[in-house]
Each structure stands twice: as C-alpha cells, then as structure tokens.
Chains A and B, each alone.
Chain A
C-alpha cells in the first residue's frame, strides 16, 4: 500500500529506506524503481549502483503503523469486524454485509474507489479464509473473488510465498522444487507432517496450508474503537475568559465519563476564536479520574495563558487517555481513598510546576554514586529492584562534585587539611578508602578511578571526600580531590 498524498512524479525511481544491520536497506519502492530492478530488502548502496538516479527517502514506520491502525477503524463503514494484518494489510470480515453494497464485486469496486480518494492504492480480494485472502490479494488477479468451493484450485497456481511463511522456509521449499502452493498441496500430508513436526507456525507450511484451506481455525479478533468524550459550549457572542464556563463543562464531561464507567488522564481545552484561530490548553493527571472539582482545579493557572484575541465563541473540552476506572472504597466508614489523595496532590503539583519538577528518586544498579540514583515520574509503577545498600552513604549528594584545595597532603589517606568553600577543614578522623572503579562499558576511556573517604573535621562535620585517580596512573596529572556529599 503506497501513500500518494503529494506523490512525486511516477517516472522517477523513488525508494523508502530503513536502517538495516549494514547501513540503510530498501523498505519500499515505487513502480518505476521496481521496473528498474530495485528489490525491497536489499541495501541502498547496491541499488544505487544498479540505478544511479535513485531517490532515497527514509520511511516513517511508526507513522505508517499508526495510520494503519486508524484505517482499521475507518474501514468499519463496510463491515463491523475489522483488524490490522501485519504491517501492510487489513482483514475485513464481510460475512453478511456484502449484499448491502450490491454484492461482493460491487463492494470491492466501492472499497477501491473510497481508498483511492484517500490517496491509497489497494489490492483487494475476497476469500473464505484469512490465509486465502492474504495470498489472493498479494499474488492473485485484480479484485479476485473466491468462493468456498474454489479455494483449492485458485490457490494452487499462486507462488509458495503466498503461504505467509518466513524467508528461510520459503527458500527451503524452493530448493525442494515446491514453487507453487499447488505443489505443496500435492505432497502427501504424512511427509509434510514428519518434516515440519516441530516447526513454529510461521515456518510450518502444513499449518499455513490448513489455515488457508479452512481446516485450521484462524479467527479475526477485532479491536474496539475507543469512545470519544467531548463536551462543548456554544456562546451567543464572543467572550474573552473561558473560566466561568469551565465548571459546567467539567461536570458535563465527568457525568459522561461516569455513565460509561471511565476515567480520563488528559484534558484538552480548545477555544475557537472568531478570527478563525484555535488555542489549546492541555492538562494531565497521574491516575484516571472523573472528579469535576479536581479537573477544574488543574486549569487554575493555565486558562490565563490563553490569548483571547478578538474573543471566542466556542469552547470544547475533550477527555484523552480514557481508561476504565473502578470505584474503590478502602475504608469501612466510606472515607476518602488515601491513594487517591496522593495522586491528586501529585497532579496539582505537576500541573502548577511542570511534570519535571515532581519526581521520585529510585535506586539503580550502579556503584558510581551519581548513577546509583535515577529519577522517575512521581507515581510511576516500577518493579522494586530490592537492591540493598550495604556501604554507608551520605544523606546529601552534590549534583556536581566540588573541587577542594589541598593544603597539607599526606601519602596515605585523605589530606590532613583542605580548603572547601573558603573554609579550612582539618581532618580529625577518617574512614576509607572505598575504591570505586569507572564503569568501562559506559565511561570514556581515560576516566579515572575514585577513592572515597568519609572524613570528620575539627568541628565534627562529616564529609564524603574523594580522590580522582592515582599518582602515576598515566591518566592525567596529579590526582584532584572533590567533596561529593555530606553525612549526618
């Protein structure tokens, strides 16, 4: 399927490339390129040698995937049961719905017309099974229609690639001289069973053949379209401040959500200005909710940021990230849910200060102190690593270790005196060293090791001090000393 939105002229060979193991490889090619001998899956540099005027664009695979998912729902206009098939196909279960469009042949013409209006080229086929439809759409005649009793001989002429097998199995069958599906059908069933008894579905021609012929069930599991929750208020004349209308909008939206048993995690407020411009304000929550007071509170400081221009006359509020939400009661006296309060607090803080300001530190697997702590979203669910901290660690850590000036160095242990932040510290007692080597799989070559000391100065302040590197380790000059944290 090729998207022809603003397609380049058809006489230039154009390919889409994706990243392969050894440089970019061809993802898809247009007709001219295929005529010139470009094969999808081969390397771009090789194909440039064949066809020097080749134009290469990079493929947007995630975008294609999302577009196909939307197309699945769009195709519900013809039948109620649709599903995506692989990276480039749709399966429509049209049982009982073809007569509404004037029979199967007329239905296929209608589908092709509608898809071409979207700018899409499609190859269509009708067949009793998923596998047969897959093969006929890709390798059969144009708009082929296959009845329940003619699967055998319609499939028989198609190449063995039409069995949805992986490349290695197709190669194996070709080497065995089985070039068409009909040839595979003629092989005695017992021999195929013996040969492929342990193969997985994608490498098992017998199971794929059974699926195509309808001997092995392959149900179509349709996806449900997510319901859309939008409320709007049309105003008689343009206004400049949406705030008075927000509580009512939130209540209407939450009533709709409550009716469906859903909660939302995002809210999009859109105002349509009289001069044709549109402004958006988005807020997000950390857990699904449908409490109008809470949702209204999240907009408190954000509504002021809307530039009203000459005023607006339509406000819409849409719920995004809609999820099912159970009503929980965890206290016998009907009291409020404690966890809910916490999620609301995090929502309020994130809405006011931005989601990056509200974080939760977690331990990570690393010996380097600054890497042993990571930041996750405040209420992100995470598996407990269960890593126990065995060594004594300071209560406070500086984001950037601060270099100290050594006044009186001693050969073993920490300096006897050093200046940190313009104050002289005399080391009274110390513990250490604890040597932490650099992580060679992450750090740049030449990173020096660290020797950590817990030192206590004359006033009793306990400081975490480290020496970066060793004398004569060949990684720079004399080792330097840094303060990295403070103990209680």
Chain B
C-alpha cells in the first residue's frame, strides 16, 4: 500500500515540472504602491499555506533600511522565520534560489529594492522553475521598482486603502483592507479587488471594487509616483 502511495507521489512531482498545475506553488511578484507600505507583506503572509513549516525571509540592505524588518510579534510565532540579512541583490537571488532547493520550507520571501541589473528575466525564470519543482511558494517583494520583463507567474500591485470600520470604536482603524491589482497572471484572469483581511480567523475576503473607475485612476497615479 505504501509502495503504491509513494509511486503516485513521485509521478505527481515528476509531472509538475513539465506541466504547471494550477495548484502548485510558484513565483509571484508583489509591487507595493509606496515603499513603506506593509500592505504587501500582510497580503503575502495571508496568502501563504497554513502550515508550521519555516519561512526563509531574505532582505537586502536598502529594503531593511527603508522599509524596516519583519517584526515577529506582528507576524505571529506560529511559523518559525529564518532571516537572512544581505547587502546585494545578487546575494538575495542566490539565497532564494538555494532556499528553493529545500522542500521542507513553508515559503521563501525575498525583498529587493529598486531595479538591480541582476534581477532580469533569466533570474526570475530560474526562481520560478525552482519554486515549481520544489512546490514551495516564492514571493518577490519589489519596492521602488518598475514592473519590467519578468517570468513571475503572478504579478500583483498592492496598496493600502482605508480600513473597515472598527466594531467597537468609531475613531479607530479596523480590519485592514488592501487594493489588489493582479496585472499579469499566467494561471488566472487578471483583475482588481479590494481585500479585507480577518486577522482572528486568518481569512482573506476578496470583493470586486464597486467604483471601478476611481480605483483604476488611483492605482495609476500611485504606480507612476512609485516608479518615478
């Protein structure tokens, strides 16, 4: 019985490399609207599969300096985090690629500031193939970057919008809400949503924005500002 099971598992793994299955984990890119916005981090963490496997989190020096470092008390201690603090984008890409060889990781998150020359189509393609082969979700968070050519399977532009009303306090911000723009995707249809995150239940609700027009123009200006 166990032999049969293992055969099936191996078959499934072998099949993944040739034909991307919509359920496998892959490389996604997230572009925060402003550099200091933690909405992208919140969205990425909410999208990770619910396991106790450790996260490999690689940061370059500028990201750490300009946007801070992940704070464990806010992320939660359910999953152990292995932080790698590096200075160059090449090293970040090397560490992420090395991390994707390890199937016991829950996720690999990399943060790269700007548009370094080393982060080209080849580099993202290598990351995407490795992530699909290992079936580990890989997120590249790119601050102050322009969405150039990339092999990332999903590319998100993420910004914060005013939060939901607080149930007990009119004056206080409530559950976080994010404006999501999936502007390129290989596996699903691109679109725009406003996401509400329920922290207590770890639940992400996506709703199509009511005012399409306004949100679209808002996204555009914010994107230009971030790129310039």
Contacts and interface: CB of A to CB of B under 8 A. Distances in A.
Q: Do A and B come from one complex?
A: yes
Contacts of B104: 338-339, 341-342
Given A342-B102, A456-B162, A363 B172 contact: no
A358 interface: yes
Nearest to B72: A361
A429 B174 CA distance: 10
Contact of B91 (A353, A361, A378): A353
A379 to B, nearest CB: 8
B73 interface: yes
Interface stretch (B76-84, B114-122, B145-153): B76-84
Q: State the main secondary structure of chain A at its contact with B.
A: mixed
B169 interface: yes
Interface string A333-371: 101001101101110110011000111111100000100
Contact of A358 (B37, B54, B83, B159): B83
A396 B67 contact: yes
Interface residues on B, range: 35 or more
Contacts of B206: none
Q: Among A344, A389, A392, which residue has the most Cβ atoms of chain B within 10 A?
A: A389
B133 to A, nearest CB: 14
Interface string B93-134: 011001101111100000000000000000000000000000
B102 A429 contact: no
A431 to B, nearest CB: 4
A363 B77 contact: yes
Nearest to B64: A399
Nearest to B65: A399
B37 A486 contact: yes
B85 interface: yes
Nearest to A459: B160
A332 B70 CA distance: 37
Nearest to A340: B104
A472 B85 CA distance: 41
Nearest to B7: A333
A460 B177 contact: yes
A398 B178 CA distance: 22
A431 B98 contact: no
A398 B38 CA distance: 12
B173 A360 contact: no
A460 B38 contact: no
Interface in B183-212: 197
Interface string B165-182: 010010111001110000
A307 B45 CA distance: 46
Interface core residue of B45, B65, B72 (most chain A CB under 10 Å): B72
B34 interface: yes
A394 B71 contact: yes
Contact of A359 (B42, B54, B83, B173): B83
B85 A359 contact: yes
A430 interface: yes
Nearest to B2: A332
B110 to A, nearest CB: 13
Chain B contact residues, majority secondary structure: mixed
Nearest to B41: A395
Given A333-B2, A339-B104, A394 B74 contact: yes
B6 A333 contact: yes
Interface in B14-49: 34, 36-39, 41-43, 45
Q: How large is the interface on A (under 10, 10 to 19, 20 to 34, 35 or more residues)?
A: 35 or more
Nearest to A392: B74
A378 B77 CA distance: 15
A395 B171 contact: no
Interface string A457-471: 001111000000000
Contacts of B101: 341, 345
Given A332-B2, A345-B98, A396 B77 contact: no
Contact of A349 (B67, B69, B98, B197): B98
B173 A431 contact: yes
A396 B72 CA distance: 9
Contact of A460 (B68, B77, B102, B160): B160
Contact of A430 (B41, B77, B161, B172): B172
Nearest to A331: B6
B216 interface: no
Contacts of A395: 38, 41-42, 45, 70-71, 74-75
A487 interface: yes
A348 B91 CA distance: 13
User: 5 nearest interchain CB pairs?
Assistant: A488-B42, A431-B172, A396-B68, A338-B104, A333-B6
28 contacts: A333-B3, A338-B104, A339-B104, A341-B104, A345-B105, A349-B95, A352-B95, A353-B91, A353-B95, A357-B86, A358-B83, A359-B83, A359-B85, A360-B81, A363-B77, A394-B38, A395-B38, A395-B74, A396-B68, A397-B68, A397-B69, A429-B172, A431-B171, A486-B37, A486-B68, A487-B38, A487-B74, A488-B176
Interface of A: 332-333, 335, 338-339, 341-342, 344-346, 348-349, 352-353, 357-363, 369, 372-373, 375, 378, 389, 392-399, 421, 428-431, 454-456, 459-462, 485-488
